[in-house]
Amino acid sequence: MSSSASLLENNFNDTVNDAEEFPKTKQSKAKAYDFVEDCESLEEFKKLIKNLHFDNVSWNFHGTNKLADCDKHTFDCKFQKKGCKKSIYLKIKNDEINGSVYISDNEHSNHSNDETVTSVA
């Protein structure tokens, strides 16, 4: 009885040559925020937002992040859909009513100064 064995060769260099390169994904950088002022409540913050108190521009509600020690109520520049990255948030610590206002340190972008100034009726 004769037996034969076959040897399967795997040349690792061939697999390296056949591999496709993955496209490099762009990682966005986290925004930096600067403290602006303290605020008595979320309702007071919303009034200030509505009255164009911050940067004389309208802001759209983005969302609320409920974290372990606080809630963050975030608003984006109304020109966010045009690409403006400016945002603002109110941070309220648990079991408190008052909070602190923070605004992103980047400049408004993708809209002119004429669009930024909005009159309140």
71-118 residue pLDDT tens: 999 999 999 999 999 999 999 999 999 999 999 998 888 777 555 444
Q: What pLDDT shows up at residue 118?
A: 45
Measured from the Cβ of residue 99, the count of other Cβ atoms closer than 10 Å reads: 22
Q: Tell which residue, 82, 92, 74, has the closest CA to residue 33.
A: 74
Q: What pLDDT shows up at residue 30?
A: 82
Question: What does the alpha-carbon distance between residue 92 and residue 77 come to, in Å, rounded to a whole number?
Answer: 21
Which value, to the nearest 10 degrees, does the dihedral of the CA atoms of residues 107, 109, 113, 114 take?
A: -150
